[in-house]
Amino acid sequence: MTAQEQRREAETAAMRRALALAATPGVPLGPNPRVGCVLLSPAGDVLAEGFHRGAGTAHAEADALARAAAAGVDVRGATAVVTLEPCNHTGRTGPCAQVLLGAGVARVVHAQSDPNPVAAGGASTLRAAGVEVESGLLAEESRLLNEVWTFAVEHGRPFVTWKLAATLDGRSAAPDGTSRWVSGTASRLDTHRLRALADTMLVGTGTILDDDPLLTVRDSDANPLPHQPLRAVMGLREVPATARVLNGDAETVLLRTRDPREALDRLFALDRQHVFLEGGPTLAGAFLRAGLVDEIVCYTAPFLLGGGRSAVADLGIGTITDAYRPRVVDVAVLEPVVAGETPDVRFTLRTDGVPVAVTREGDH
């Protein structure tokens, strides 16, 4: 193996380790990306490693350098392997590009280039100062790690996941309104798992008035988790002061609008990047028609009702050739966790930003 091949092997292994560090459980989601860093000696040995632990804490590069300093490790001439291009701006912390320069790092290998124009440019700053910079190593893996953050930065709005639960014939409730839950316990537990991956829960005022939900993330024993997403309610109707969504279990914001784009703009201005849409059929239809649903998670219960509330409002589709056809990316059977319940099926789909109104035969 040549020296160049040995270096590439060491840097690839270090990048995989940096990605694992970035994905450390317990790190708060948003508004910053998840980033990991590994420092290598010129011989390819690991000198130190670090990762970002959330807004206001040291960035991954600074964390790794601080750990090296605490251990008395000399990093001059080292290679910094980072999952994201070192930042080039001063926010709550200083620019990582300057921190690396000050430490005497000779080479920087980063995976994903920073899509944020405010923070980008670290690679150019490092090159201009004589540091060897390589980009793109395991870039797709890094992008996948920060998929929602990257989407929000590139599109200027939060990523939207619409969750629904329906029977085989597409009903979300019986005709007499009985059973708020058509899916089983396993689906509800899985829903809380997905809620915890988002930073915002969004419903319409109709859902608040009809169901009075808590909109919190809870564990299998129904205990609220320490970190809760923002609860957002959009619509023009008044929310009763006694509504459970206004209690102290989590922060709540009222969005006085029926326009999905305006609601997302407001949430993006609040540094929100992933909206979990759990509203009723009218709200879901509005987001779908506007092309503002990016992911659909559907829990299908294996029974029929033949009537009752539909999972989504009329989309104006009159013929099968105009059917809305999101792309299926995963199908899973959720085995029951309570005796007597039947399995549900979870479908995960992506819309690729296509609104209902422009879907026609030949678009797929």
Measured CA to CA, the distance from residue 230 to residue 96 in angstroms comes to 30
DSSP 27-57: PPPSSSPP-EEEEE-TTS-EEEEEE--STTS
* Dist. CA 203–CA 71, nearest whole Å: 50
Identify whether 11 is a catalytic site residue.
no
- Please count the other Cβ atoms lying within 10 Å of the Cβ belonging to residue 82: 32
User: Which helix (H) or strand (E) segment is 161 a member of?
Assistant: strand 159-167
Q: Cα–Cα distance between 100 and 91 in angstroms, integer?
A: 17
Catalytic one among 9, 11, 49, 61?
Answer: 61
Determine which helix (DSSP H) or strand (DSSP E) holds 203, and give its type and residue range: strand 200-204
- State how far the Cα of 227 lies from the Cα of 198, in Å rounded to an integer: 11
Please say whether the beta carbons of 213 and 231 come within 8 A: no
Q: From the CB of residue 351, how many other CB atoms can be counted at a distance below 10 Å?
A: 21
Q: How many CB atoms lie within 10 A of CB 4?
A: 8
Q: Closest by alpha carbon to 146, among 192, 110, 92? A: 110
Encoding tokens for residue 335? Answer: 């085995």
Distance, in Å, from the CA atom of 273 to the CA atom of 187, rounded to the nearest integer, reads: 24
- What residues contact 137, with CB distance under 8 A and at least 6 apart? 11, 12, 15, 81, 109, 110, 111
Q: Which residues pair with 345 in a beta bridge?
A: 300, 333
Look-up: residue for tokens 């039947």?
A: 342
What are the φ and ψ backbone dihedral angles of 17, each rounded to 5 degrees?
-65, -40
Return the active site residues: 61
